[in-house]
Amino acid sequence: MKVLVVNCGSSSLKYELFESDTGQSLASGLASRVGVNGGEEALLEQKRAGDEEKFTVQAPMPDHKVALGYVLAALTDPEEGVLGSLDEIQAIGHRVVHGGEAFSQSVLIDAVVEAAIERFCEIAPLHNPANLLGIRACRDRLPHAPMVAVFDTAFHQTLPPVAYIYGIPYELYEERKIRRYGFHGTSHRYVAGKAAEMLDKRGLAPEQQRIITCHLGNGCSITAIQGGKSVQTSMGFTPLAGLLMGTRCGDLDPALVPYLINHLGMDPEEIDDLLNKRSGLLGVSGVSSDMRDIHQAISEGNARAKLALDIFSYRLRRYIGAYATVLGGVDAVVFTAGIGENDALVREQSTRDLEFLGLYLDQTRNNDPSLRGQPADISKFDSPSRILVIPTDEELLIATDTAEIVGKSG
**Annotated active-site positions, please?**
152
Is the CB of residue 13 less than 8 Å from the CB of residue 31? yes
Dist. CA 249–CA 254, nearest whole Å: 12
Minimum distance, C-beta of residue 369 to ligand ADP, in the bound complex (Å) = 10
Among 291, 359, 389, 390, binds ligand ADP (CB under 6 A): 291
Interface positions, 241-280, toward ligand ADP (CB under 6 A): 246
Minimum distance, C-beta of residue 158 to ligand ADP, in the bound complex (Å) = 24
CB atoms within 10 A of CB 113: 19
Dist. CA 187–CA 215, nearest whole Å: 7
Minimum distance, C-beta of residue 142 to ligand ADP, in the bound complex (Å) = 25
Looking at the Cβ atoms of 80 and 343, the one nearer to ligand ADP is 343
Among 85-93, 247-255, 287-295, 299-307, the segment contacting ligand ADP (CB under 6 A): 287-295
Minimum distance, C-beta of residue 295 to ligand ADP, in the bound complex (Å) = 6
Among 25, 232, 342, 402, binds ligand ADP (CB under 6 A): 342
Which of 144, 18, 115, 132 has the alpha carbon at shortest distance from 64?
Answer: 132
Is the CB of residue 232 less than 8 Å from the CB of residue 222? no
Minimum distance, C-beta of residue 252 to ligand ADP, in the bound complex (Å) = 20
Looking at the Cβ atoms of 291 and 316, the one nearer to ligand ADP is 291
Dist. CA 332–CA 86, nearest whole Å: 43
Give strand pairing partners of 89. 2
Looking at the Cβ atoms of 285 and 385, the one nearer to ligand ADP is 285
Among 48-56, 97-105, 289-297, 316-324, the segment contacting ligand ADP (CB under 6 A): 289-297
Interface positions, 208-227, toward ligand ADP (CB under 6 A): 217-219
User: Buried (b) or exposed (e) across 31-51, using 16+ Cβ within 10 A?
Assistant: bbebbeeebeebebebbbeee
Dist. CA 100–CA 95, nearest whole Å: 14
Dist. CA 42–CA 31, nearest whole Å: 7
Looking at the Cβ atoms of 9 and 100, the one nearer to ligand ADP is 9
Looking at the Cβ atoms of 39 and 239, the one nearer to ligand ADP is 239
Is the CB of residue 67 less than 8 Å from the CB of residue 33? no
Looking at the Cβ atoms of 219 and 250, the one nearer to ligand ADP is 219
Measure Cα distances from 381 to 201, 348, 363, 377, 386 in Å: 15, 16, 12, 9, 9
Minimum distance, C-beta of residue 217 to ligand ADP, in the bound complex (Å) = 3
Q: How many residues bind to ligand ADP according to rule CB under 6 A?
A: 12
Among 327, 337, 359, 398, binds ligand ADP (CB under 6 A): 337
Looking at the Cβ atoms of 342 and 379, the one nearer to ligand ADP is 342
Sign of CA dihedral 118, 123, 126, 131: negative
φ, ψ (nearest 5 deg) of residue 91: -160, 155
Looking at the Cβ atoms of 290 and 362, the one nearer to ligand ADP is 290
Among 130-138, 335-343, 356-364, 377-385, the segment contacting ligand ADP (CB under 6 A): 335-343
Minimum distance, C-beta of residue 364 to ligand ADP, in the bound complex (Å) = 18
Sign of CA dihedral 344, 345, 350, 351: positive
Q: What is the CA radius of gyration of the chain?
A: 22
Which three-class secondary structure state does DSSP give residue 124? Answer: coil
Among 152-160, 205-213, 337-345, 358-366, the segment contacting ligand ADP (CB under 6 A): 337-345
Report angle CA 322, 328, 331 to the nearest 5 degrees.
Answer: 90
Among 178, 339, 387, 388, binds ligand ADP (CB under 6 A): 339
Minimum distance, C-beta of residue 289 to ligand ADP, in the bound complex (Å) = 7
Among 54, 176, 202, 292, binds ligand ADP (CB under 6 A): 292
Chain residues in the site for ligand ADP (CB under 6 A): 217-219, 246, 290-292, 337-339, 342-343
